[in-house]
Amino acid sequence: MSSQRLYRVSFLYQGQVYEIYARAVSHGALLGFVEVEKLVFGERSTVVVDPSEERLKSEFADVERTFIPVHAVLRIDQVDKAGAARAVAASGESAKVMPFPVFGSGGGEHKK
C-alpha cells in the first residue's frame, strides 16, 4: 500500500466555497482551526488551463500549511484522485452559513 492519503477540503471564505486538495489534514495546534498542509494542485502538463484553479494555485503558492476556522469547514473527504481546485460563489444551503461574529477591541467596558 504505497499510495498516500488525499483529502478534499471544502470551506466557506468571503462568500465563496473553496475546494482544495491536500495530503495532510488535522485538528492542529490552534484551538478551533483545522490544519491543512501539503496542498495538491493539477499538473501543468494539460493543455486546458482552469483559471479558477490557477488563481487558487497562485493564492496558496508560498503556503506551507493553512489554518481554516472550524466553523468555515463544510466537509472533508478522503478521495482516491485529486480533482481541480476551485472557488465558486456560495449558493443554496452553503450561502446560509455565516461566519462567527468578530467583536471590536472595545475592551468590554461599559460606559456610563
Residues 95-109 have a mean pLDDT of: 59
Does residue 110 surpass a pLDDT of 60? Answer: no
Q: What is the pLDDT of residue 53?
A: 72
Q: How far from the centroid of its chain's Cα atoms is residue 53's Cα?
A: 13
Q: How far from the centroid of its chain's Cα atoms is residue 104's Cα?
A: 25
> What do you get for the CA distance between the two ends of the chain, in Å?
68
Q: Rounded to an integer, what distance in angstroms lies between the CA atom of residue 94 and that of residue 17?
A: 8
> Residue for cell digits 483529502?
7
pLDDT digits (tens, 9 = 90+) for 20-78: 899 999 987 888 899 999 888 766 555 556 676 778 777 778 888 889 999 889 999 99
DSSP 17: E
Does residue 98 surpass a pLDDT of 70? Answer: no
* 6 or 47, which is more confident: 6
The grid coordinates listed for 58 are 497562485
Residue 83 pLDDT level (bands cut at 50, 70, 90): confident
Q: What is the pLDDT of residue 2?
A: 43
> Cβ distance 76 to 8 under 8 Å?
yes
The grid coordinates listed for 5 are 492519503
Does residue 99 surpass a pLDDT of 70? Answer: no
Q: Rounded to an integer, what distance in angstroms lies between the CA atom of residue 21 and that of residue 47?
A: 21
Q: In which element (H, E) is residue 25 found?
A: strand 16-26
Q: What is the pLDDT of residue 60?
A: 78
| Cα 51-66-6 angle, rounded to 5 deg | 75
> What pTM did the predictor assign?
0.69
